[in-house]
Structure 1
Amino acid sequence: MPTFYDRFVECAERWPQNAAVEVQKPDGVESYTYAELRGLAESIGSWLVRNAMPPGERIAILADNHPRWVAAYLGIIAAGGAAVPLDTAYHADQVAKLLKDSGASLLVCDAKHLEIAQEAVSGTEVGIVLTESEGRAWRAAPTQSATDGQPRAAVPTQADKQPAAGIPTQAERESVPVGSPAITDFDSIFAGQNGAFTPVPRGSDDLASLLYTSGTTADPKGVMLTHANLLGEAGGVFAWAHIGPEDAILGVLPLFHVLSQMANLLLPLVAGARAVFLSTLNTTELLKALRERQITAFAVVPQFFYLIHDRIFKEVAQKRRLTRVAFGTMRRVTVFCRKIGLNPGRLFFGKVHELFGKKMRLLVTGGSRFDPQVGRDFRSLGIDVLQAYGLTETCGGAFVNSPRHNVIGSVGKALKGVEAKIVDAQTSDDGSPASGEIIMRGPIVMKGYWNRPDATAEVVKDGWLYTGDLGYFDADGNLFISGRKKEVIILSNGKNVYPEEIEAHYLQSPIIKEICVMGMEGAAGGDKLFAVIVPNFEALRQRKVVNTREVIRYDIEGLSAKLASTKRISGYEIWQDDLPRTTTRKIKRFEIQKRVQARKGADAAGELAAVKPLTHEEKSWLERDDVKRALKIIRDYSTSAPENIRPGDNLELDLGLDSMRRVELLVAVEQEIGGDVPESELANVYTVREMVDAVRESAAMGSKAGEGARPAHTFAGWSAVLREDPTDPAVTTITNSRPITDTVIFLATRLAGFIWRAFSRIDVEGLENVPSSGSFLLCSNHQSYLDPAFLLVILPFKTLRNLFAVGTSEIFGTGIMLRMAKLFRVMVVDPDANLIPAMRAGAYGLRHGLGLVLYPEGERSIDGTPRIFKKGAAILSIHLQVPIVPIAIEGFFESWPRGKSFQKFAPLKIKIGKPMIPPPESKASEEAYAKLTTELKAGVEQMWKGLDRASEQRKS
C-alpha cells in the first residue's frame, strides 16, 4: 500500500510546475511548485537518512504555517520518521514535557520560537533544527575539538557530514553543555544536498504522525496516526467531493491542528491542488486571500463565519428601511427557490458571495459547535456552510454534510468506509431525541495513544472508537451532536443537561459575547447551573449602555423564562476577559470551573486574585498629580474599590458604581481638577482612565472648576444639574396647552376601560390620594406594557391632561410608537445612556406644574413581583420638593407578561397610597436618597402584597 509521501510524489511527477504551496504576505505571494516542494522535502529527508535517523524516529515541529513547515513534515515522513507537530502557543515547560513523552530526538523550529525551543531542550539530548538561516544570530556554545583544541561550529558545513553535526549520537549528546543543544538550519541542509534520494519504505500500519490532543499537557496523550489512517481520510473525503489540480484550499488554522493538517496539507498534496497560507492572520488579509487567490475550498472554525455573518447583518441593519425590506424579501425568495432546487443567491446577494471569492464552492466548518441559525442565515443568502465532525483520533474528519443535501444543525453522514452507531442512548423528558455515545470504526481510526495502552483500552474496544461525544441520528442517517459525555451536567434530580444547548440559548442576547455553563453545588446540596458571562462591550458601547450588570440580568431573566426550570442558570459571574479556548475555539470548561472555584475560595479566605502587571505608561499615568487627586475621590465614591485602583478598572463591574453614582462621581472629579465633560460623552465612559482623561481633556480645553467649588468629598451636584433647563424641543413642548388632543386621549382611555370591563374587571382604591393640583410623581411597580395606559384609564381629565412620562428609544424610538410618544407626552430619553438629560427632562416638567409617571424599577418585572427600586424618583422628589404618590398594581402581569404576547383580560387591581413628602432639599444626600427610595419601595410592596393576597383569595 502506498504511503502519504508516495501519493505526494505521484502528484509532483504529474504536475511538477503546478503551485503546491503559497504564502500570502502583505507585500506579495511566496509560491513553491510541486517540484520545488519535493526538492525541499527530499533535501531534509536525505539529511535525516545520512545522519542515521532510524525508521520510526519522532521529530517534533514548532513553527508557524509556512512552506518549510510542510517541507519538514514531508521530509520526516520520506525518511521513515514520524512528525510530531506542537502547539506554538505552548510554553517551554509544556514543549519539554511533550518532547520527553514522544521521545523526539530533534526539534524543528522557526526563529520566532527559538527561545522557547532553546529553553525546552535545555539539559536534554534533543537537537534543534531551524527552518531558516536568519536564526544563526543564536548559536549553541562552541565545543572544543578533540584534534586541534579550537572551537568547532555547531552548524554543519558542506564538508562536515558526520552524524555529530546532524542527529547527535548518545555520547555526543552527553558532551553537549546544558542549554547548548546541537543546531543546524534548513538553508545549510539545502546547500549540502547532492545526489538522488530514495524514500525509506514504510508499511501502512507504521506511524506517520503523532498528534497531541489539545489541553492534555498535564496528562499527555499522543494520537498515533498511521499512513493507512492518512490515506483512509483522503479516500473518504475524495468520495465525498472532488478535489483536483484546479482547486485552491485556504488554510488559516495552525498546521499543528489535525483539521488543518488534513484540510490544508494532506488533501491538497495528494490531489495536485494548491494549499494557501497567510503570513499575517487578520480579517483584511483573509478576505484578500479569498478574493485574490482563487480559493475554491475553505475549512475553518465557526468563529470565521460568525464574523462574516455579523458584518453582513450589521451593515444591512444600518441601511434605509426600504433596503432592509428588500433584503428580507430576497432572502425569503431564496429560501423558497432552494427548496425546489434553484439558487438565486449569487444573483440577489452578489456582494456577499464576492467576500468568499468568485470560485468558492466548498465552505466547511468544524472543530466546535456551529450555531444553526447562522447556517440558516447563510443558506438564505445562497451560501451553504457544511458542518463537519471528527476528532484527532479519527484524522480530523469522520462526518460531513453533503454539498447537495446540507442538513443544517447536523454534521451530516459518515465518510466512506466509516461505520458509526449510538450506544447507551438515554431518553429525554423534554421530547428531544434520545442521545447516546457516538462510537465508530474504519480506516481513519487511530492506532492508539503513544505509550498509553491503558488509555487506548479505555476508548478502543473491539475495534470501535468510543468518542466521548454524545449525539443521535435522524431517520436519514444524519448525525446530530448533543455534547461531550464528560461535560454533561447531572443535576441533583438526576436530569442531564448539555451545557452547549444552554449556552446557545443565552447567547441570543446581543449583549452576551461569551458564556460558559457549569454545574456548581447549591446551598441545599446538588448541582445548580452556574455561568461565567463575558459581556459584549462593543455592543454595550454602541447602545450607550453603562449599567452592564442590569442589562445582563434583564436579558438573563427574559431568556430564562423561556426554558424549563431545570435548564435555567441560577447564578453567574461576569468576566471582562475572553474565556480561555483551544485552537479550534472550544471552551476550556474545566479550566474555567477551576478558576471559578479558586476565586470563590480566595474570596472566602479574603485573598486577592492575580492581576496583570501595569505597563510603564500606566504607572506614569498614575503618578500624575491630577490623576492622584481624581483617584482619591473615585475611591471614596466606590462601593467595592480595591486597595489599588487600576486605570482599566471598570466603573461598574470593578468599582460597583451604578449610573446615578457615576454622574455624582463625574461632577465631583470635575469640581476637583476642573473641566466640564459634555453629557453626551458620559455614555462612552466605562473605565477609570476614560473618566479621568475625559475630565482632564475638558480642563485642558479651557474649562475650569467653578469658583467656590464644593469640597470634593461632598456632592450636592444634583441640585445644579436639575436647575439647568433642557434645550430639546421634544422636552420643552410638553408644557404646551392642547385641549383638543387631551380631550381625544381622555375619551379614548375611557373607551379602552369600557372594553376591558366588558371582559373582566378593574378595581381601583385610593384615587382620592392623587393631588388635584401642583406637581407630583406617580410611582408604581411595573408589570406590563399595559401599566401606563390603565393609569390614564382611571385618572380624571384634570389630572390626565397634566401628566407626562419618560420612555426609552427601544420602545418609543421609531415609527408609530414615536408618534404615540408625542401624543401621550412621553419624552424619549434613554435614562441609561443619557441619565442627565433624562433627569433634567423630568425636573423640567415638574418645575412647570406637571405630574410625572415614573417606574422606579426601570423595567417590567419578570415574574410580576416588585423588583429593585432606583433612586431617580427620590432625587427628583427631594430637589424639586414634590410629593411621591406610591401605587401598587396587580393582574397586569397575568394579562401581558414580559417576554410574551398579550395573554388574556385578567382582573386588574390598582391601589394608590397617600403622598410621601420628601425631606427639605437642604437635607439632600446619598443617605436621604436611599432612605426615601427604601420607604417608597416598602410602601408599594406592602400595598401589592395586599392586592396579591386578595387575588389569591378570589381565585380560591
Structure 2
Amino acid sequence: MPTFYDRFVECAERWPQNAAVEVQKPDGVESYTYAELRGLAESIGSWLVRNAMPPGERIAILADNHPRWVAAYLGIIAAGGAAVPLDTAYHADQVAKLLKDSGASLLVCDAKHLEIAQEAVSGTEVGIVLTESEGRAWRAAPTQSATDGQPRAAVPTQADKQPAAGIPTQAERESVPVGSPAITDFDSIFAGQNGAFTPVPRGSDDLASLLYTSGTTADPKGVMLTHANLLGEAGGVFAWAHIGPEDAILGVLPLFHVLSQMANLLLPLVAGARAVFLSTLNTTELLKALRERQITAFAVVPQFFYLIHDRIFKEVAQKRRLTRVAFGTMRRVTVFCRKIGLNPGRLFFGKVHELFGKKMRLLVTGGSRFDPQVGRDFRSLGIDVLQAYGLTETCGGAFVNSPRHNVIGSVGKALKGVEAKIVDAQTSDDGSPASGEIIMRGPIVMKGYWNRPDATAQVLKDGWLYTGDLGYFDADGNLFISGRKKEVIILSNGKNVYPEEIEAHYLQSPIIKEICVMGMEGAAGGDKLFAVIVPNFEALRQRKVVNTREVIRYDIEGLSAKLASTKRISGYEIWQDDLPRTTTRKIKRFEIQKRVQARKGADAAGELAAVKPLTHEEKSWLERDDVKRALKIIRDYSTSAPENIRPGDNLELDLGLDSMRRVELLVAVEQEIGGDVPESELANVYTVREMVDAVRESAAMGSKAGEGARPAHTFAGWSAVLREDPTDPAVTTITNSRPITDTVIFLATRLAGFIWRAFSRIDVEGLENVPSSGSFLLCSNHQSYLDPAFLLVILPFKTLRNLFAVGTSEIFGTGIMLRMAKLFRVMVVDPDANLIPAMRAGAYGLRHGLGLVLYPEGERSIDGTPRIFKKGAAILSIHLQVPIVPIAIEGFFESWPRGKSFQKFAPLKIKIGKPMIPPPESKASEEAYAKLTTELKAGVEQMWKGLDRASEQRKS
C-alpha cells in the first residue's frame, strides 16, 4: 500500500512546476513548486538517513507555519520517521515534557522559538535543527533525481549574509559548551546534500505522525496516526468533494493542529493542489489572501465566520431604513429560492461574496461549536458554511455536511469508509432527541495512544473508538452534537445538562461576549448551574452603558425566563479578560472551573498577583501628584477598591461604583484637581484612568484646582447639577400649554379604561393621596409596559395634564414610539449613559410645577415582585423639596409579563400611599438618599404584599 509520501511524490512528478506551497507576506508572495518542495524534503530526509536515524524515530517540530515546516514534516516521513508537531504556545517545561514522552531525538524549530527549544532540551541528548540559517535570502537550485532526472534537491545561495534575529552565528555554534544540545540548520543541510535519495519504505500500519491532544500537557497523550490513517482521511474527503490541481486551500490554523495538518498539508499535497499560508495573521491579511490568492477552499474555526458575520450585519444596521428593508427582503427571497434549487445570493450580495474571493466553493468550519443562527444567516446570503466534526484520534475529520445538502445545526454524515453509531442513549423529558456517546470505526481511527495502553483500552474497544462526545442522528443520518460526555453537568435532581446548549441560549444577549457554564455544588448538595461571563465591552460602549452588572443581570433574567428551571444559571461572576481557549477556540472548562473555585478562597492580594504587571508608562502615570490626589478620592468613594488601584480598573466591576456614585465621584475629583468634564464625555468613561485623564485634560484647558471660584456650570454636587437648566428643546417644551392634546389624551385613556373593564376589573385605592397641585413624584413598582398607561387611566384631568416622565431611547428612540413619547410628555434620554441630563430633565419639570412619573427600579420586574430601588427619586425629592407618592400595582405582570407578548385582561389593582415628605436639602447626603430610598421601597413593598395577598385570596 502506498504511503502519504508516495502520493506526494506522484503529484510532484506529475505537476513539478505547479505551486505547492505559498506564503503571503505584507510585501509579496513566497512560492515553492512541487519540485522545489520535494527537493527540500528529500534533502532533509537524506540528512536524517546519513545520520543513522532509525525507521520510526520521532522528530519534533516547534515552528510557525512556513514551507520549511512542511518540508520538515515531509522529510521526516520520507526518512521513515514520525513527525511530532508541538504547540507553539507551549512553555519550555511543556515542550520538555512532550519531548521526553515521545522520545524524540531531534527538535526542529525556527528562530522565534529557539530560546524555548534550548531551555526545553537543556540537560538532554535531544539535538536542535533550525529551519533558518544566518542568511535567509536563498533560492533552491535543482539537482538530479535518483530515478527520473527531474529537479530534486535544494541548494541555497546566501545573498544576504546578515544573521537573522535570534539565530546563532557559526562562531557561536562552534563555541557551544560540551554537553549542550547540538545545533544545525536547514541551509547547511541543503548545502551539504550530495547525490540521490531514495525514500525509506514504510508499511501502512507504521507510525507517520504523533499528535498530542490539546489541553493535556499535565497528562500528555500522543495520538498515533499511521500512513493508512492519513490516506484513509484523504480518501474519505476526496469522495466527499473533488480536490485537484486547480484548487488553492488557505490555512490560518497552526500546522501543529490536526485540522490544519489534514486540510492544509495532507489534502492539497496528495491532490496536486496549492496550500496557502500567511506570514502575518490578521483580518486584513486574511481577507487579502481570500481575495488575491484565488482560494477555492477554506477550513477554519467558527470564530472567523463570527467576525465576518458581525462585520456584515453591523454595517447593514448603520444604513438607512430603506437599505435595511431591501437587505432583509433580498435575504428572504434568497432563502425561498434556495428551497427550489436556485441561489441568487451572489447577484444580490455580490460584495459579501467578494470577501471570500471569486473562486471560493468550499467553506468548512470545525474544531468547536458553530452557532446555527450564523449558519442560517450566511445561507440567506447565498453562502454555505459546511460544519464538520472529528477528533485528533480520527485524523481531524470524520463527518462533514454535503455541499449539495447542508443541514444547518448538524455536522452532516460520516466520510466514506467510516461507520458510526450512538450508544447508551438517554431519553430527555423536554422533548429533545435522546443523546448518547458517539462511537466510530474505520480507516481514519488512530492506532492508539503512545505508550499508554491503559488510556488506549478505555477508548478503543473491539475496533470502535469511543469518542467521549454526545450526539444523535436524525432520520436522514445527519449527526447532531450535544456536548462532551465529561463536561455534562449532573444536577441534584439527576438531570443531565449540556453546557454548550445553555451557553448558546445566553449568548443571544448582545452584551455577553463569552460565557462558560459549569456545575457548582449548591448549599443543599448537588450541582447548580453557575456561569463565568465576559461582557461585550465594545457593545456596551456603543450603547453608552456604564452599569454593566445591571444590564447583564437584566438580560440574564429575561433569557432565564425562557428556559426550563433546571437549565437556568443560578449564579455567575463577571470576568473582564477573555476566557482561556484551545487553538480551535474550545473553552478550557476545567481550567476556568479551577480558577472559579480558587477565587472563592483567594484574598485580594492573591488575585492581584495573577494580573499582568504595570507598564513603565503606567507606573509613571501613577507617580504624578494630581493622579495620586485623584486616586485617594477614588479609593474613598469605592465600595470594593483593592489595596493598589490600577489605571485599567473598571469603575463599576473593580471598584463597585454605580452610575449615581460615578457622578458624585467625578464631582469630587473635579473639585480636587480642577476641570469641568463635558457631560457628553461621561458615557465614555469606564476605567480609573479614563476618568482621571478626562478631568486632568479638562483642567489643563480651563480652571485649575485652588484658583478660587470656578465657572458657574462646574459641578459642585447634586444640588448644582440639578439647579442648572437643560439645553435640549425636547425637554424645555414639556412646560408648554396644550389643552387640546391633553383633552384628547384624557378621553383616550378613559376609553382604554372602559374597554379593560369590559373584560376584567381595575381596583384603585388611595387616589385622594395624589396632590391636587404643585410638584411631586409618582413612584411605583414596575411590572409591565402597561403600568404608565393605566396611571393615566385612573388620574383626574387636572393631574394628568401636568404629568411628565423620563423614558429610554431604547424604547422611545425611533419611529412611532418617539412620536408617542412627544405626545405623552416622555423625555427620551438614557438614564444610564446620560445620567446627568436625565436627572436635570426631571428637576426641570419638577421646578416648573409638574408631576414626574418615575420607576425607581429602572426596569420591569422579571417575576412581578418589587426589585432593587435606585436612589434617583430620593435625590430629586430632597434637592427639589417635593414629596414622593408611593404606588403599588399588581396584576400587570399577569397581563403582559416581561419577555412575552400580551397575555390576557387580568384584574388590575393600584394602591396609592400617602405622600412622603423629604428631609431638608441641607441634610442631603449619601445616608439621606439611602434612607429615603429604603423607606420608599418598604412602603411600596408593604402595599404590594397586601395587594398580592388579596389576589391570592380571590383566586382561592
Q: What CA distance in whole angstroms lies between the structure 1 residues aligned with 2:732 and 2:530? A: 47
- C-alpha distance in 2, partners of 1:719/1:528? 47
Q: Matches of 2:141 and 2:38 in 1, distance apart?
A: 33
Offset of 1:711 from its aligned partner?
17
Alpha carbons of 1:200 and 1:577: their partners in 2 closer, same or farther (altered >3 Å)?
same
Query: Structure 1, residues 634-664: CA drift from partner, whole Å, max 9, x if none?
Result: 0000000011100000000000000000001
> Displacement, 1:610?
2.2
Cα separation, 2, equivalents of 1:164 and 1:836: 58
Q: Distance in 1 between matches of 2:221 and 2:591?
A: 18
Aligned partner of residue 373 in structure 2, secondary structure: helix
TM-superposition CA deviations, 1:136-195 (whole Å, max 9, x none):
999999999999999999999999999999999999999985772100000111111111
Alpha-carbon separation, structure 2, partners of 1:919 and 1:89: 62
TM-score (norm 2): 0.95
- Write the mapping of 1:574-585 to structure 2, written as runs, cut at 5 A: 574-585=574-585
Using a 3 Å threshold, how does the CA distance of structure 1 residues 142 and 927 change in structure 2: closer, same or farther? Answer: farther
| SS of residue paired to 2:601 | helix
Q: Is the 8 A contact 2:144 2:153 kept in 1?
A: no
Q: Is the alpha carbon distance of 1:645 and 1:389 closer, same or farther for their aligned partners in structure 2, counting shifts above 3 Å?
A: same
Quick one: structure 1 residues 206 and 145, their matched pair in 2 at CA, closer, same or farther if it must change by over 3 Å? closer
Does the aligned pair in 1 maintain the 2:774–2:851 contact within 8 Å?
Answer: yes
**2:135 counterpart SS class:** helix
User: Could you list the per-position Cα deviations for residues 665-687 of structure 1 after superposition, in whole angstroms to 9, with x for gaps in the alignment?
Assistant: 01111111111111010000000
- Alignment-derived partner of residue 158 in structure 2: 158
The 3-state SS of whatever aligns with 2:749 is helix
Q: Which residue of 2 aligns with 1:245?
A: 245
Aligned to 1:229: 229
CA distance in 2, matches of 1:567, 1:150: 65
Indicate the SS of the match to 1:910.
strand
1:666 aligns with 2:666: yes
Q: 1:153 to 1:633 in 2, by over 3 A?
A: farther
After superposition, give the CA deviation of every residue in 1:239-288 in whole Å (9 maximum; x if it has no partner): 00000000000000000000000000000000000000000000000000
Residue 694 of structure 1 aligns to a residue in which SS?
Answer: helix
What SS does structure 2 have at the residue aligned with 1:152? coil
Aligned partners of 2:135 and 2:158 also within 8 Å: no
1:639 aligned counterpart, secondary structure: coil
- SS of equivalent residue, structure 2 residue 831: coil
Distance 2:162 2:847 in 1: 96
What CA distance in whole angstroms lies between the structure 1 residues aligned with 2:129 and 2:140?
Answer: 12
Residue 608 of structure 1: how far off its partner (Å): 5.5
- Work out the CA distance in 1 between the residues paired with 2:329 and 2:827: 34
Cα–Cα, structure 1 residues 148 and 176, in superposed 2: closer, same or farther, change >3 Å? farther
State which drifts further: 706-715 or 101-110.
Answer: 706-715
Assess if the C-alpha contact under 8 Å between 1:749 and 1:793 holds in 2.
yes
CA spacing shift, 1:34–1:758, aligned 2, 3 Å: same
Output one character per residue of 1:523-543: Cα deviation in whole Å (capped at 9) or x when no partner.
111100000000000000000
Q: For the structure 1 residues 564 and 162, does the alpha-carbon distance in structure 2 shift closer, same or farther, using more than 3 Å as the test?
A: closer
1:105, 1:167 within 8 Å by CA — same for their partners in 2?
Answer: no
Q: What is the CA deviation profile of residues 686-739 of structure 1, one whole-angstrom value per residue up to 9, with x for unaligned ones?
A: 000000011111111223348657999999600000011001000000000000
Q: Distance in 2 between matches of 1:869 and 1:182?
A: 71
Q: Conserved in 1, the CA contact under 8 Å of 2:291 and 2:355?
A: yes
Q: Distance in 2 between matches of 1:363 and 1:767?
A: 66
Kindly tell me: are residues 139 and 105 of structure 1, through their superposed partners in 2, closer, same or farther at Cα, counting changes over 3 Å?
farther
Q: Is the 8 A contact 1:205 1:228 kept in 2?
A: yes
CA deviation digits over 1:101-131, x for unaligned, max 9? 0000000000000000010000011000000
In structure 2, the CA distance between the partners of 1:711 and 1:298, relative to structure 1 (3 Å rule), is same
The alpha-carbon deviation at position 613 of structure 1 amounts to: 1.2
- Is residue 77–residue 83 contact of structure 1 (8 Å, CA) maintained in 2? yes
For 1:713 and 1:94, locate their aligned partners in 2 and report how far apart those are by CA, in whole Å. 61
Instruction: Encode CA deviations 1:431-473: one digit per residue, 9 max, x unaligned.
Output: 1000000000000000000000110000000000000000000
Query: Are 1:716 and 1:925, in contact at CA under 8 Å, matched by a contact in 2?
Result: no
Q: Is the 8 A contact 1:121 1:179 kept in 2?
A: no
Equivalence for 2:378: 378
Q: Are the structure 2 counterparts of residues 163 and 810 from structure 1 closer, same or farther at C-alpha, using a change threshold of 3 Å?
A: closer
Q: Do the aligned partners of 2:156 and 2:190 also contact (CA within 8 Å) in 1? A: no
Given the superposition, is the C-alpha separation of residues 637 and 786 from structure 1 closer, same or farther in structure 2, using an over 3 Å criterion? same
- CA distance in 2 between counterparts of 1:424 and 1:336 reads 39
SS of residue matched to 1:165 = coil
SS at match of 1:144: coil
Give the Cα separation in 2 of the matches to 1:901 and 1:478.
35
Q: What does the per-residue CA deviation read over 1:855-875, in whole Å, with 9 as the maximum and x for residues that have no partner?
A: 000000000000000000000
Q: CA deviation at 1:601?
A: 1.8
Shift of 1:399: 0.2
Is the Cα contact below 8 Å between 1:223 and 1:450 reproduced in 2?
A: yes
2:835 aligns with 835
**1:603 positional shift:** 4.6
Structure 2 unaligned regions, length at least 5: none
Distance 1:36 1:146 in 2: 15
- CA distance in structure 2 between the partners assigned to 1:165 and 1:929 by the alignment: 63
Check conservation: 2:138, 2:158, Cα contact below 8 A.
no
Deviation digits for residues 11-63 of structure 1 (CA, Å, limit 9, x no counterpart)? 00000000000000000000000000000001000000011100000000000
SS of corresponding position for 1:849: coil
Take 2:842 and 2:879, find their aligned partners in 1: how far apart are those partners? 11
SS at match of 1:732: helix
Deviation at 1:134, TM superposition (A): 3.5
CA 1:88–1:16: 2 relative to 1, 3 Å:
same
Equivalent-residue separation in structure 2 for 1:829 and 1:76 (angstroms): 67
Distance of 1:666 and 1:822 partners within structure 2:
32
Conserved? CA contact 1:547–1:832, under 8 Å: yes
**Equivalent residue runs for 1:869-884 within 5 Å:** 869-884=869-884
For the 8 Å contact 1:715–1:925, the answer to whether it is kept is no
Aligned-partner SS, 2:941: helix
Query: Do 1:155 and 1:185's aligned partners in 2 also have CA atoms closer than 8 Å?
Result: no
Is the 8 Å Cα contact of residues 290 and 355 (structure 2) preserved in structure 1?
yes
Contact 1:251–1:260 (Cα < 8 Å) also in 2: yes
Q: Which moved more, 1:180-189 or 1:862-871?
A: 180-189
Instruction: Tell whether the 8 Å contact from 2:721 to 2:836 is kept in structure 1 after alignment.
Output: yes
- Cα gap change, 1:917/1:728 in structure 2, threshold over 3 Å: closer, same or farther? same
Cα separation, partners in 2 of 1:702 and 1:261, compared to 1, 3 Å: same
Q: Secondary structure at the match of 1:922?
A: helix
The answer on whether the counterparts of 1:735 and 1:845 sit within 8 Å (CA) in structure 2 is: yes
Q: 1:772 to 1:494 in 2, by over 3 A?
A: same
Inter-CA distance 387–266: structure 2 relative to 1 (3 Å threshold): same
Q: 1 CA distance for matches of 2:202 and 2:794?
A: 90
| Alpha-carbon distance, 1:234 to partner | 0.1
Deviations 1:417-439 (A, max 9, x none): 00000000000010100000000
Kept in 2: contact 1:139–1:183 (CA 8 A)? no
Pairwise CA RMSD: 5.5
For the Cα contact (< 8 Å) 2:530–2:570, is it kept in 1? yes
Deviation at 1:611, TM superposition (A): 2.0
Partner SS, residue 582 of structure 2: coil
Return closer, same or farther for 1:195/1:823 CA change in 2, 3 Å cut-off.
same
Q: Percent identical across equivalent pairs?
A: 100
1:749-760 aligned at under 5 Å gives the runs 749-760=749-760
- On the 8 A contact 2:155/2:190 being kept in 1, the answer is no
Instruction: Decide whether aligned partners of structure 1 residues 910 and 30 sit closer, same or farther in structure 2, where only a CA change above 3 A counts.
Output: same
SS of match in other structure, 2:343: coil
Contact 1:124–1:178 (Cα < 8 Å) also in 2: no
> Residue 729 and residue 456 in structure 1: after superposition, are their counterparts in 2 closer, same or farther (change >3 A)?
same
Contact 1:671 1:712 in 2 (8 A): no
Is the alpha carbon distance of 1:347 and 1:614 closer, same or farther for their aligned partners in structure 2, counting shifts above 3 Å?
same
Q: Is the 8 A contact 2:155 2:191 kept in 1?
A: no
Summarize the Cα distance change of 1:146–1:646 in structure 2 as closer, same or farther, 3 Å threshold.
farther
